[in-house]
Homo-oligomer: A and B are copies of this chain.
Amino acid sequence: MQRTSLALARRAIRSTRTTPAPILSTRHSTQIRFASALPPRSSAFAQLTESNITDLRALLSAPTSLMSTLDGSASEDDLRPFNDDWMNKYHGKGQVVVKPKTVEEVSKVMKYCWDKGIAVVPQGGNTGLVGGSTPIHDELILNLSNLNSIRSFDTVSGTLTVDAGAILETVDNELASHGHIFPLDLGAKGSCQIGGNVATNAGGLRLLRYGSLHGSVLGLEVVLPDGTIWDGLGGGLRKDNTGFDMKQLFIGSEGTIGIITGITILTPKRPSAMNVAVFSLPSYEAVQKVYTETKSHLGEILSAFEFFDKQAYDLVRRHQKEGGEADRKVFETEGEFYVLVETGGSKQEHDEEKLQGLLENLMENDLILDGVLAQDTTQYHSLWKLRELIPESAGKSGSVYKYDLSVPVPKMYSLVEKMRARLSESGLFKEEGGGRIREIVGYGHIGDGNLHINICADKYDAEIEKVIEPYVYEIVAAERGSISAEHGLGVMKAPYIGYSKDQTSIDLMRRVKQMFDPKGILNPYKFIL
């Protein structure tokens, strides 16, 4: 039996840091529309006219808060960033973007739209992956970017109240200066807005540690479809059992029953000690065993447990090299799989000792092939990049079909294998390269049972889509999984909800939508149809 101390196992990771290309550059200029697959425009909604624009302008304090092709204040190109989704897969035809500066303005705009029967799509950072935050047809785009202040922060309780349009990373940086952390972190943090995070019940990288937003959001302020402002912020109380917990319905409602304008959330103390290690492993079997050992050794300090496959790792390394990064080896022995383990604790010596105990155990039991532990902040970020750059690297490699699935951990990776087998059989994917599908990579959050499959194709194409869907949903349903672990339904998965929810559930949801928005003006054509 070979015993290895952490000191031995540690070695300085050569700087794998890259200057990441702006994420927006991963958008493609080719515009593919599968208009046939989208629901037709409903005649129930009013067609916007120049006169509406005049009325709407009168409700807003600043002329720049409204841009429209109808009154010539904006060109189609100006509106494109609001009409095109993050993946450049969905392309709305909205003619008006309204960016209110206050909750009262949101309320006035909604009341106007309610009265006139104008359909509205609420929009945050527009970083969603299921076409939920862009118009399907000509819905008015109500963008929350101008509502972006931190309203208050209580350092004793850690309670934060913030406008919906505040950027996640900006807020987290502000919290860091008070020794606190936002209980959510995800790849798009530099662009996504907290209102959108809550509206889509974002999960992200540290759900394992800080739990879901259903637990950490303490209150919401919401503008209802008819313009009523509902103050459900609740004074920042951690406990309040006075009636139905109405705010919960808005968490994950994807902008279909109200527009979240303010959020009160409980932020934990920021761990003073953070460590990250990445291991290479021989098999998915080993990934699961390492997870069990990690939980047992690290207990309360474990803050993330991510995995990715060899294909994802190779893709990121290739992307980094193409970005000009020196081609240095990260691992002596590469593996079929990789896991990233992060700890966040309050005492560095204690956390290192626990990590050392884990590492010794993993090496003694031959569960890992190699491991790298970050020695400083630069290396901490470098190691995280191996995981965080996967979506961007996939985007660089083509048009990406993204699936975001929940299944029991032991079954997770078999879905990637099934997908590879199916696409190989169809001739679309060739291991040796040259197929219309270039890459199929699997990664995700083991601790949450959440798998991401990215399928990189030359371009979006109805034939490819037909081979993938609904097959991918069928294999998830066979495991009683979820067809959307965290991305939501949007327009992309709305027709497929039946793979995850039974008719009773769908009926209940329709009644909720009907109760809040009987005219159906809020984010139509999506979510619950």
Interface residues of A (CB under 8 A from B): 154, 156-157, 200-201, 203, 207, 211-212, 214-216, 228-232, 234-246, 248-249, 251-253, 257, 269, 271-272, 288, 292, 295-301, 344-347, 350, 353-354, 406-410, 445, 447-450, 480-489, 493, 497, 500-502, 504-506, 508-509, 511-513, 515, 527-528
Contact residues in B for A447 (Cβ distance below 8 Å): 238
A213 CB to closest chain B CB (Å) equals: 8
Residue contact B252 to A249, C-beta cutoff 8 Å: no
Contact residues in B for A235 (Cβ distance below 8 Å): 408, 480-482
Q: Which residue of A239, A244, A450 has the most chain B CB atoms within 10 A of its CB atom?
A: A244
A131 CB to closest chain B CB (Å) equals: 14
Residue contact A502 to B231, C-beta cutoff 8 Å: yes
A192 to B528, CA, bound (A): 37
A272 to B295, CA, bound (A): 12
Also in contact, A239 and B482, with CB within 8 A (given A245-B248, A345-B300, A353-B350): yes
A241 interface neighbour in B157, B246, B292, B487, Cβ under 8 Å = B487
Residue of B nearest to A499 (CB): B242
A216 CB to closest chain B CB (Å) equals: 7
Q: Which residue of A248, A272, A292 has the most chain B CB atoms within 10 A of its CB atom?
A: A248
A512 to B238, CA, bound (A): 23
A305 CB to closest chain B CB (Å) equals: 12
Residue contact B157 to A409, C-beta cutoff 8 Å: yes
Residue of B nearest to A497 (CB): B242
A489 CB to closest chain B CB (Å) equals: 6
A19 to B301, CA, bound (A): 38
9 A–B contact pairs at CB < 8 A? A230-B508, A237-B407, A239-B482, A240-B484, A243-B497, A245-B252, A248-B251, A299-B347, A347-B350
A485 interface neighbour in B237, B298, B482, B485, Cβ under 8 Å = B237
Also in contact, A481 and B237, with CB within 8 A (given A248-B214, A354-B347): yes
Copies of this protein in the complex? 2
Residue contact A484 to B299, C-beta cutoff 8 Å: no
A456 CB to closest chain B CB (Å) equals: 23
A175 to B24, CA, bound (A): 48
A482 CB to closest chain B CB (Å) equals: 4
Also in contact, A245 and B201, with CB within 8 A (given A214-B215, A240-B406, A448-B238): yes
Also in contact, A242 and B346, with CB within 8 A (given A211-B216, A237-B406, A515-B515): no
Contact residues in B for A504 (Cβ distance below 8 Å): 228-231
Residue contact A201 to B241, C-beta cutoff 8 Å: yes
Residue contact B200 to A241, C-beta cutoff 8 Å: yes
A252 CB to closest chain B CB (Å) equals: 5
Contact residues in B for A257 (Cβ distance below 8 Å): 244
Contact residues in B for A200 (Cβ distance below 8 Å): 241
Contact residues in B for A515 (Cβ distance below 8 Å): 511-512, 515
Contact residues in B for A288 (Cβ distance below 8 Å): 156
A385 CB to closest chain B CB (Å) equals: 24
A411 CB to closest chain B CB (Å) equals: 11
A445 to B157, CA, bound (A): 13
A508 interface neighbour in B246, B300, B450, Cβ under 8 Å = B246
A242 to B354, CA, bound (A): 38
Contact residues in B for A408 (Cβ distance below 8 Å): 154, 157, 235-236
A451 to B519, CA, bound (A): 43
Contact residues in B for A354 (Cβ distance below 8 Å): 346-347, 350
Residue of B nearest to A229 (CB): B504
Residue contact A240 to B500, C-beta cutoff 8 Å: yes
Residue contact B482 to A230, C-beta cutoff 8 Å: no
A343 CB to closest chain B CB (Å) equals: 10
A211 interface neighbour in B211, B240, B251, B449, Cβ under 8 Å = B211
A6 CB to closest chain B CB (Å) equals: 16
A232 to B486, CA, bound (A): 18
Residue of B nearest to A485 (CB): B239
Which 4 pairs across A and B sit closest by C-beta, in order of nearness?
Answer: A215-B215, A299-B346, A248-B248, A235-B480
Contact residues in B for A154 (Cβ distance below 8 Å): 408
Residue contact B484 to A241, C-beta cutoff 8 Å: yes
Contact residues in B for A201 (Cβ distance below 8 Å): 241, 245
Contact residues in B for A407 (Cβ distance below 8 Å): 237
Q: Which residue of A211, A240, A271, A511 has the most chain B CB atoms within 10 A of its CB atom?
A: A240
Residue contact B486 to A528, C-beta cutoff 8 Å: no
A22 CB to closest chain B CB (Å) equals: 27
A445 to B156, CA, bound (A): 15
Known pairs A200-B241, A243-B505, A249-B249. 7 more at Cβ < 8 A?
A: A157-B409, A214-B245, A236-B408, A240-B406, A241-B485, A244-B508, A347-B350
Residue contact B482 to A243, C-beta cutoff 8 Å: no
Contact residues in B for A353 (Cβ distance below 8 Å): 347, 350
A297 CB to closest chain B CB (Å) equals: 8
Residue contact A239 to B406, C-beta cutoff 8 Å: yes
